[in-house]
Structure 1
């Protein structure tokens, strides 16, 4: 059985290839092949592209830095304008206060009557108890009021620039005779002088 089996296997076995009788394609080289140079244009384009990217990054960086400084300057100006607006608002509030208006009216010679007098428009007659011109008001508008108003204590009156609601303005000075005013805060908080 083994001979039959071998015969059957030989039938299905691949046939051997015929030997290649052709000569190999190898041949000796008469001269060496010239080496191809890289294209110069590709190199120039690559270098110019890298230079353009670096230049664009520098321009963007410079513009961003300039914008940052401009924003910082505008923020500082906005803060200063906000402070100025608040100062002006406080000044207007002080100048429109009843104490300041009464002090200016008193400086002009107007008096406050305890008995009100009205002017009737139909005939122009005064209705109510009128007082003599020499009458003095019971309210001292120029002197110290019941509640002090810090916004107008040193503000001069319209009719008398040398006087204020609390009298003649007095400038606070130290032992050396220099004016004691708070330092300006335009450059930040003041620092003490050391010796």
Structure 2
């Protein structure tokens, strides 16, 4: 994702650049954790899993309409991270059923990271784009409409598959994102 945004010249501010640097590090750490879980639970091989990840194409075509400028990208990220935070939280019983407390603790860290990513994106929006906050609701509505037809294509955003990504989760995530933008937590 970060490379695509750089190639499209969509990272315009130092704040967004700092956000994406930290975000990319965390996402790589999350990938490492998921690979480890697949190794342990499904007898996957790290080498094979990493080869499959490397071979996967990254098609940004399905989300190109949401890659207009830094503002729209940050709104998309704030929403997406809120959605994944809530989706992972809904999947706690699955991870708990794996029978290893390490999975439970790891998932709590991932949930916390996703929440922080959402708030960090909100902080970029509020510090750089106060004059455009009135556009956020429309962008979020468009993202929710698009979620019905999007297919995941290796972009690290809007990868909503599975029953946990219900209309209710998307609507609740929209509301939380709007609320956070209205009253950000700037640290």
The TM-score range, normalised by the shorter chain, is under 0.3
Q: Which has the larger radius of gyration?
A: 1
TM, length-normalised to structure 2 = 0.26
More helix by share: 2
Q: Which has the higher contact order (CA 8 A, sep 6+)?
A: 2
